[in-house]
Chain A
Amino acid sequence: MNEVVVACAIGVLTASGVWLLLRPRTFQVAIGLSLLSYAVNLFIFAMGRLRIGAAPIVAAAGTPDPAAFADPLPQALVLTAIVIGFATTALLLVVLLAARGLTGTDHVDGREPE
């Protein structure tokens, strides 16, 4: 059940993201990319297998059973991906504002279709 919910969430986010990405306005493209990066972050997280109530940190004492712990690596990857995605989205916003100012339109091609 858990898996179905996460899979549906990723699917809906990806579908919305791709649809927005193919729209002609720069702001729609930026939002589409954000949605896509949410979907990708969830996807990376899910690639470490979904576990409920399992800590990613192994206790120091004794030989731990790996099956009782969540995989910490995808969580670290997601953190990196979030930071990088955040920075590049901010950069994209600056560029699309500059494009709006320089071309006078928010169309991705810099001119309105005839």
Chain B
Amino acid sequence: MILSEHLVIVPIVLPLVAGAVTLMIDETRLAAKAAISVVLTAALVAAAAALVVLVDATGTHVYRLGDWPAPFGIVLVADRLSAAMALLASALGFACLVFALARWQREGPRFHALVHFLLMGVNGAFLTGDLFNLFVFFEVLLAASYGLALHASGALRVRASLHYIVVNLVASLLFLIGASLMYAATGTLNLADLASRAAMIGSHERVLVESAAAILGIAFLTKAGMWPLCFWLPSTYSASSAPAAALFGILTKVGVYVVLRLWLLLFAPGSGASAGFGATWLVTGGMATIAFGTLGVIASQNLPRLASYSILVSSGILLAVVATGDPAVTGAALYYLIASTLAGGALFLLIELVDRGRAPGADVLAVTAEAFAAGSGSVEADDETGAAIPAAVALLGVSFVACALMLAGLPPLAGFVGKFALLDALFRAPTVSGASWTMLVLLLVSGFAVVIGMGRAGVRRFWASPDTAVPRVRVIEMVPVAFLLALCAAITVEAAPVMRYLGEAAAMLHAPRSYVESVLSR
């Protein structure tokens, strides 16, 4: 099938084309831009979904760029995990783009092109099978994210972006050092080739490979937001415009994905003398991230910061359990990853709607709000398009509760299923270590903290806030939030097939043999 052969590269080429086209259309013709963007992003979601179905039916697909054989040319590899991640990124991007149509696309230039290039970089990072190509896609997504972080400008955003850009430039330099060191030690940059050589490397080069992996790890963990490399994250995410912040939720997951992929390829249990290298660091770092995020969730005075810290918590949970080296745990973690990304995206979009119409600076006094209750309501200038929704507060409230349930991991939604599956897998393992018990406590305490933090914020927003004008919410802004929450509901109802798919993805990750063979065989 010639078409299915090329489906692997479509999630990269389609956003590239969309970005190029929307870049060339003049800023005054926003309607044309919006139409092209929405159609092409919908096509991207369809293509990623088709890729998931294809990979699930026929196994790993390898796409050789320029038809060079594997260790010499660059390959794209679509296995179950990368296809699922590409679908997740595309769906999140679609929701953010539609959300931005109501208002945010007018707040600054070239919003559409930036979103498309970000999606291109993210999908490329998920699909590539080459270490240096991964660097290039990282730079593509970072360059686009710099632009999106600065979208709509303002002193706060520029200041936060300055820190964000500097931190990520340093991380990129570390990435380069790690990649070139890896090349010097092994003579290859192809991930599958690296995996096959890592097992039989001499003790002299082993030191270099491990140093290279550690340096690369710092670069990726900065993206993933592991404590203590995460201090840039809350201020950047909470300062960004709502659709950009929601989209940034996938960036931390790119970091987690790369750690998962590289660590299991190079240092999976049973892969020679370096097996399990850095596992203790991942586990302790992940746990420290959960603890830090939990404190942040409780201490946050405004909703965007709270949402940023809840992203840190989910990053920490994923990093801490990835290193257990148990396929069942990894499968559950992947389910939790998808659930938390969707819920985090929905929450960032929702926050902007909920906070609309609140007096600026109202959050500064949030913790002592009772003492300063006599605020002044401010009504926004009405320059938006689309019909307003009646009973907006009720709708927002229901969505807010759904987000809180997802992030806290309470039944009946997917957050609960994910956390429950995680704990189940942790305690079903042949040896239940002390780390599993620590993990249990941290999972429950962090969930409890999210309940407290979001409960407090929700009560103040929806029940007891005298200074809030009723927000005017457009249908086109509510649809993306509902779309993301519907996806959460869908993976809850269809948990069995999703779990089965992710379980197989995890099993393949833990048996790098088949990945290596499918890349290097032809």
Interfacial residues, chain A to chain B (CB-CB below 8 A) = 21, 26, 29, 33, 36-37, 40, 43-44, 47-48, 73-74, 77, 80-81, 84, 87-89, 91-92, 95-96, 98-99, 102-103, 108-110
- What chain B residues lie within 8 Å of A74 (beta carbons)? 180, 183
B residues in contact (CB < 8 Å) with A: 132, 136, 139, 142-143, 146, 150, 153-155, 158-159, 161-163, 165-166, 169-170, 172-173, 176-177, 179-181, 183-184, 189
* B contact residues around A102 at 8 Å (CB): 153-155, 158-159
B361 CB, min distance to chain A CBs, angstroms: 17
* A95/B150 in contact, CB under 8 A: yes
CA distance A78 to B509 in the complex (A): 31
* 24 chain-A/chain-B pairs, Cβ below 8 angstroms: A21-B166, A26-B162, A29-B166, A33-B166, A36-B170, A43-B177, A47-B180, A48-B183, A48-B184, A73-B183, A77-B183, A80-B132, A80-B136, A84-B136, A88-B143, A88-B165, A91-B146, A95-B146, A95-B161, A95-B165, A99-B158, A102-B153, A102-B154, A110-B155
CB-based contact A47/B136 at 8 Å = no
Which residues does chain B contribute within 8 Å of A84, judged by CB atoms? 136, 139, 172
Chain B min CB distance to A41 (Å): 8
* Given A102-B158, A103-B155: A92 and B184 interface contact (C-beta under 8 Å): no
Q: For A92, list chain B residues within 8 Å (CB).
A: 165-166, 169
- Give the residue name and chain of the A residue nearest to B182 (CB): A47
Contact status B165-A91, CB under 8 Å: yes
Q: Which of B139, B173, B181 contacts A47 (CB 8 A)?
A: B181
**How far apart are the CA atoms of A40 and B143 in the complex, in Å?**
19
How far apart are the CA atoms of A47 and B183 in the complex, in Å? Answer: 7
Q: A21-B170, A40-B173 are in contact. Are A110 and B146 (CB under 8 A)?
A: no
Indicate if the CB atoms of B180 and A43 lie closer than 8 Å.
Answer: yes
Residues of B within 8 A of A48 (CB): 183-184
Contact A88 B150 (CB under 8 A): no
B162 touches which one: A40, A80, A99 (CB < 8 A)?
A99
**B142 to chain A: which residues have CB within 8 Å?**
88
Instruction: Report whether over half of chain A's contact residues are helix, strand or loop; otherwise say mixed.
Output: helix
Interface centre among B169, B181, B183 (most CB of A within 10 A): B169
CA distance A109 to B142 in the complex (A): 22
Please, how many angstroms separate the alpha-carbon atoms of A102 and B181 in the complex?
41
A21 to chain B minimum Cβ distance, whole angstroms, is: 7
Asked if A36 contacts B173 (CB within 8 A), the reply is yes
Partner of B172, one of A43, A88, A96: A88
* A87: chain B residues within 8 A (beta carbon): 143
Whether the Cβ atoms of B169 and A88 lie closer than 8 Å is: yes
| Cα separation A37 to B163 with both chains bound (whole Å) | 18
Chain B hits for A36, CB < 8 A: 170, 173
- Excluding A36-B173, A43-B176, A80-B132, 10 further A-B contacts by CB distance (< 8 Å) are A21-B166, A33-B170, A44-B180, A73-B183, A80-B136, A84-B136, A92-B169, A102-B154, A102-B158, A102-B159
A99 touches which one: B136, B159, B179, B183 (CB < 8 A)?
B159
Chain B residues with CB under 8 Å of A40's CB are 173, 176-177
Q: How far is the CB of B182 from chain A (nearest CB, A)?
A: 9
Q: How far is the CA of A26 from the CA of B169 in the complex (A)?
A: 14
Residues of B within 8 A of A73 (CB): 183, 189
CB contacts (< 8 Å) of A26 on chain B: these are 162
Residues of A within 8 A of B154 (CB): 102
- A51 CA to B173 CA in the complex, in Å? 24
CB distance from B151 to the nearest CB of A (A): 13
Q: Is the CB of A91 within 8 A of B155?
A: no
Q: Which residues of A contact B173 (CB under 8 A)?
A: 33, 36-37, 40
Question: Which residues of B have CB within 8 Å of A77?
Answer: 132, 179-180, 183
In angstroms, Cα B162 to Cα A80, docked, is 24
Closest residue on chain A to residue B208 by CB atoms: A47
A3 CB, min distance to chain B CBs, angstroms: 13
B143 contacts which chain A residues (CB < 8 A)? 87-88, 91
Closest Cβ–Cβ distance, residue A19 to chain B (whole Å): 14
Residue of B nearest to A80 (CB): B136
Given known A36-B170, A44-B176, A84-B136, contact A109–B159 (CB-CB < 8 A): yes
Report the nearest A residue to B183, measured CB to CB. A47
Shortest Cβ distance from A33 into B: residue: B169
**Chain B contacts for A103, CB-based, 8 A:** 155, 158-159
Closest to B136 in A: A80
